[in-house]
Amino acid sequence: MVDHAFDGLHVALIMDGNGRWAQARGWPRLAGHRAGAETVRRVVEAAPGLGIGTLTLYAFSSDNWKRPQDEISGLFRLFARYMRQEAAKLKKQGVRFEVIGRRDRLPGPLVSLIEETERATSECGKLRLRVAVDYSSRDAIIRAVEAGARDRASISASLGPDVDLLVRTSGEQRLSDFLLWENAYAEFAFTDAAWPDFTAAGLRDMIEDFRRRDRRFGAVAPARLQALR
Ligand code: FPP
């Protein structure tokens, strides 16, 4: 697949806390996921204006198969509804939609819908929206190597762009097998807000803070070198 040049940051989002958000209100966990889908819509809409070129969302990890069957099928229904309701809008907004992760264990109709949405938006170049479904970063790395990738450049090309900013909501501070290779030099940002309460303004603040950080990628900052001379 041709890797379009999407200008802007690569922001990766671990959308955590839907279940706790719902349970705190005495609602079923799925109500939290439904509210979370609204946050997805708002964040995707705001992303290009925040300087984001690629947005990767962690929607369903390969370990999430351990959840109750009704929560899993509810999540798949939500993904399908999102694609059905948003495809035309995504195309109009210039959003190229992609799903990363395994497809062979997903329900057939969901896979067809994913393929249809990817096809419909394949020419879009303003924002690359990647949704991770049945995703495990360890497995993705193994698959890349098994497919013949042997060096940094080819493994990166097979996986996707490096992450600039990794965000996790809901007070948790771990990677949970998400973009392990791509996060090698990512900056991290955490918030106590549950995903349904997360806002585009919150993301804007994180990006502003990110832009003030000194990313050295292992080197010494030029100003410090100057001072040492
Ligand atoms: C983590 O919260 C969230 C998920 C496993 C699902 C994320 C899915 C959505 C936001 C729904 C819509 C997505 C798209 C792409 C339309 P959790 O359930 O683990 O929360 P908890 O830690 O409070 O239990």
| Active-site residue list | 16, 64
User: Is residue 43 classed exposed, middle or buried when 0-12, 13-18 and 19+ CB atoms within 10 A define those classes?
Assistant: buried
Which of 2-6, 15-19, 108-112, 180-184 is predicted least confidently? 2-6
Domains of the chain: residue spans and CATH: 9-228 (3.40.1180.10)
What predicted TM-score, i.e. pTM, was given to this entire model?
Answer: 0.95
DSSP, collapsed to helix, strand or coil, labels residue 101 as coil
- Tell me how far the alpha carbon of residue 89 lies from the centroid of ligand 1, in angstroms: 22
- Tell me how far the alpha carbon of residue 14 lies from the centroid of ligand 1, in angstroms: 9
Confidence tier at 228 by pLDDT (50, 70, 90): low
Tens-place pLDDT, residues 131-183: 999 999 999 999 999 999 999 999 999 999 999 999 999 999 999 999 999 99
For ligand 1, atom 18, name the residue with the nearest CA. Answer: 19
